[in-house]
């Protein structure tokens, strides 16, 4: 990692100028010391600046940074942001010229402090942090002779919410467009990094909202997920033609994708736009993967998902159904894919379920389902799930378990229970999903764990459970549950559905395929490059990372599409300088939950909540539970955004 000569970062002064280079301290901002073989010279962002080479022309770098803030970071709606940042850049260049006085330096500080206190957004004020820190703490460096050798500068504009989104959606930008009633522009912005906004506006766990600074000044963050859905709903319900980017000229190369889930569809969308001929092979009879087969219609209506897929297919993407990788009778083997396509992307989901590991589970008793995802699949295919009028116990604590209990209720079960071995606080399922299930009448048994299937005459009549006590944290960071001796009891039931975890089935791989696999039963890929041990084969989604969220699969697949393009065009995948900076920012975290936010006049703007069916209204049907925002609601919620745009820049030595 890079070592710092001097700088200022997060209120800390770093000064190693009198020390030998080998004694310099490690950078507090974790980043490579080379970006595509170009040495890192300086990094500047809203937290300060770091100099990695004592010969750096820091004034030139700071001036360039302020110029970029003026042209690309600020919205231009206030004078300090629009003009002040440019004036500060010019003042820094005047100081750099050498013909400057103490008054010139003081004037630069005065301009910076004026921007900090009077700009209306947070972009311009935070951009002055590195300038003020340098001029106040390293004044002696201003007059030092430095080699004014050229540097290449690369910037990345982000925001705490954007950095928290695995798909890197430009959230402040599309919210601003919603606020201006430019819904189709907002949708175009979202589609730059996410081709399934209707899906992610409904079922995304929205980690972006945990990174929203509005939550630091109000009781709730901005409702980003629902705002993301708003322009898609506007396009769909107003019968608007999708506004898609122009396709690049055909490149004459073919990419084969295995899996039509969120990852496969995303990669296909971007590869098609790049000019590639794309075909997806899908083992189910319709597209969507886990979204279609594992998320019920009350959360994600299937006809709306199909509309998103139709848009992707309009770019020329072909999907062939009923084709499973490894099925030699259909010729869909990895060898076939490699021989018939210039590059291959594998995006198969985590369809295999973990066993409960309890007595009687594998004894063939009627009423024991093999898996929660299998139960949801049967319902998705319109089959009789066999739970009508029966007492159901679902074991697990994730979103799949919650879907299983809520589907059981809608399928006519007379009594539905969820057994989870930890407390509600430790449940991985989304809290609002748990609350919805409670409202619908699901019985939760927290801190209980199944130990035995109870059966009579070959049929399930109950499940034995034992009370659990939480001990010390385990490798997951959660407190480890331990059984309480003598606390066993029986929950009467006719059906047991295990939903305790899933994994990818890679049994189709042969030694001939030559692909390395991790201990987690996923493909071994290079970090951020998505290529496997076979340079022609790439992987993204569940089979690359393990069971993940829809938005994480979408984000990974977009990056994989970029890497496939570079492999086919340049011979190997790689990260550009700007992308290296971007990923470094996200790994270092952009959001600071301890930040003191001063927008006092914007407090007490309450979060807008979409209309939602009551538990009584929804528990016996598959109607969509959460309704779209009205356009007025969308506008009101969009006004809560603080537009926390941030910019980072690196200066690199030229080759």
Q: How far apart are CA 515 and CA 509, in angstroms?
A: 8
Q: Do domains 3-155 and 353-503 have the same CATH topology?
A: no
User: In the structure, what pLDDT confidence band is assigned to residue 471 with cuts at 50, 70 and 90?
Assistant: confident
User: In the structure, what pLDDT confidence band is assigned to residue 655 with cuts at 50, 70 and 90?
Assistant: low
User: In the structure, what pLDDT confidence band is assigned to residue 76 with cuts at 50, 70 and 90?
Assistant: low
Locate tokens 């679902």: which residue? Answer: 394
- In the predicted structure, residue 601 carries a pLDDT above the cut 60: no
- In the predicted structure, residue 145 carries a pLDDT above the cut 70: no
How confident is the model at residue 477, as a pLDDT? 76
Strand segments, DSSP code E, in 515-567 are 537-539
How confident is the model at residue 457, as a pLDDT? 95
Q: What stretches of 119-223 show up as alpha helix (H) in DSSP?
A: 123-137, 139-142, 160-164, 171-179, 183-191, 197-203, 207-210, 214-217
- The pLDDT of 538-559, averaged and rounded, is 94
CATH number 1.20.1440.230 is the correct assignment for the domain at 3-155: yes
Locate tokens 């209980």: which residue? Answer: 448
> For 278-320, how does the pLDDT look when each residue is reduced to its tens digit (9 = 90+)?
999 999 999 999 999 999 999 999 999 999 999 999 999 999 9
Architecture of domain 161-243+613-638: Orthogonal Bundle (1.10)
How confident is the model at residue 451, as a pLDDT? 96
Burial 568-599 (b: 16+ CB within 10 A, else e): beeeebebebbbbbbbbbbebebbeeeeebeb
- The pLDDT of 95-108, averaged and rounded, is 86
How confident is the model at residue 605, as a pLDDT? 82
> For 371-409, how does the pLDDT look when each residue is reduced to its tens digit (9 = 90+)?
999 999 999 999 999 999 999 999 999 999 999 999 999
User: In the structure, what pLDDT confidence band is assigned to residue 598 with cuts at 50, 70 and 90?
Assistant: low
Helix (H) or strand (E) holding 543: helix 542-545
How confident is the model at residue 143, as a pLDDT? 75
CATH number 3.30.1450.10 is the correct assignment for the domain at 254-351+507-574: no
User: In the structure, what pLDDT confidence band is assigned to residue 96 with cuts at 50, 70 and 90?
Assistant: confident
Domain positions in the chain: 3-155, 161-243+613-638, 254-351+507-574, 353-503
- In the predicted structure, residue 217 carries a pLDDT above the cut 90: no
Average pLDDT, the chain: 92
- In the predicted structure, residue 599 carries a pLDDT above the cut 60: no
User: In the structure, what pLDDT confidence band is assigned to residue 328 with cuts at 50, 70 and 90?
Assistant: low
For the chain, the straight-line distance linking the first and the last C-alpha, in angstroms and rounded, comes to: 20
CATH number 3.40.50.300 is the correct assignment for the domain at 353-503: no
- In the chain, % helix, strand, coil (3-state, to 5) comes to 40, 20, 40
- In the predicted structure, residue 453 carries a pLDDT above the cut 70: yes
């Amino acid at each position: 990692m890079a070592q710092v000569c001097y700088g200022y970062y997060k209120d800390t002064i770093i000064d190693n100028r009198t020390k030998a280079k080998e004694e310099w301290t490690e950078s507090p901002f974790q980043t490579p010391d080379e970006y595509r073989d170009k040495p890192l010279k300086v990094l500047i962002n809203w937290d300060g600046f770091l100099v990695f080479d004592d010969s750096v022309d820091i004034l030139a770098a700071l001036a360039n940074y302020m110029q970029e803030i003026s042209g690309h970071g600020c919205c231009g709606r206030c004078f300090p942001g629009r003009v002040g940042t440019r004036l500060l850049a010019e003042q820094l260049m005047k100081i750099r010229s050498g013909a400057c006085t103490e008054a010139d330096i003081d004037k630069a500080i005065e301009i910076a402090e004026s921007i900090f206190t009077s700009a209306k957004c947070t972009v311009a004020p935070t951009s002055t942090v590195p300038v003020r820190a340098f001029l106040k703490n390293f004044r002696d460096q201003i007059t030092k002779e430095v080699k004014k050798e050229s540097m290449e500068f690369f910037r990345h504009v982000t925001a705490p919410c954007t950095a928290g989104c695995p798909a890197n959606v430009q959230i402040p930008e599309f919210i601003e467009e919603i606020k201006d009633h430019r819904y189709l522009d907002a949708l175009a912005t979202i589609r730059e990094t996410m081709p399934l906004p209707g899906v992610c506006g409904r079922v995304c766990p929205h980690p972006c909202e945990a990174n929203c600074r509005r939550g630091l000044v109000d009781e709730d963050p901005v409702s980003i997920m629902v705002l993301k859905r708003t322009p898609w709903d506007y396009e769909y319900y107003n019968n608007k033609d999708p506004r898609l980017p122009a396709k690049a000229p055909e490149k004459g190369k073919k990419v084969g994708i295995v899996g039509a889930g969120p990852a496969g569809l995303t990669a296909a969308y971007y590869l098609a736009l790049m000019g590639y001929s794309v075909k997806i092979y899908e083992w189910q009879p319709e597209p969507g993967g886990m979204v279609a087969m594992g998320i019920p219609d009350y959360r994600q209506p299937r006809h709306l998902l199909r509309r998103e897929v139709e848009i992707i297919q309009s770019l020329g993407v072909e999907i062939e159904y009923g084709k499973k990788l490894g099925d030699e009778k259909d010729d869909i083997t990895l060898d076939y894919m490699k021989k018939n396509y210039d590059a291959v992307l594998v995006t198969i989901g985590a369809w295999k379920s973990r066993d409960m590991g309890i007595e009687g589970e594998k004894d063939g008793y009627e009423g024991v389902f093999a898996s929660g995802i299998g139960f949801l699949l049967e319902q998705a295919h319109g089959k009789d799930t066999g739970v009508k009028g029966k007492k159901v116990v679902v074991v697990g604590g994730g979103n799949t378990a919650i879907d299983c209990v809520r589907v059981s209720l809608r399928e006519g079960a007379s009594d539905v229970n969820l057994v989870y071995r930890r407390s509600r606080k430790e449940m991985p399922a989304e809290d609002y999903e748990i609350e919805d299930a409670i409202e619908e009448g699901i019985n939760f048994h927290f801190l209980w764990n199944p130990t035995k299937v109870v059966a009579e005459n070959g049929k399930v009549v109950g499940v034995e459970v034992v009370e659990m006590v939480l001990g010390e944290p385990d490798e997951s960071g959660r407190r480890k549950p331990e059984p309480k001796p003598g606390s066993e009891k029986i929950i009467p039931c006719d059906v047991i559905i295990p939903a305790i975890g899933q994994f990818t089935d890679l049994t189709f791989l042969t030694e001939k395929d030559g692909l390395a696999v991790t201990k987690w039963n996923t493909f071994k890929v290079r970090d951020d490059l998505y290529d496997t041990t076979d340079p022609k084969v790439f992987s993204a989604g569940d089979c690359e990372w393990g069971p993940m969220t829809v938005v994480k699969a979408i984000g990974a697949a977009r990056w994989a599409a970029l890497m496939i393009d570079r492999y086919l065009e340049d011979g190997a995948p790689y990260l550009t300088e700007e992308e290296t900076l971007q990923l470094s920012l996200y790994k270092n975290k952009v959001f600071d939950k301890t930040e003191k936010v001063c927008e006092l006049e914007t407090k007490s703007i309450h979060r807008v909540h979409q209309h939602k069916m009551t538990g009584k209204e929804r528990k016996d049907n598959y109607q969509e539970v959460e309704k779209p925002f009205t356009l007025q609601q969308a506008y009101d919620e969009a006004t809560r955004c603080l537009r926390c745009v941030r910019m980072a820049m690196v200066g690199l030595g030229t080759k």
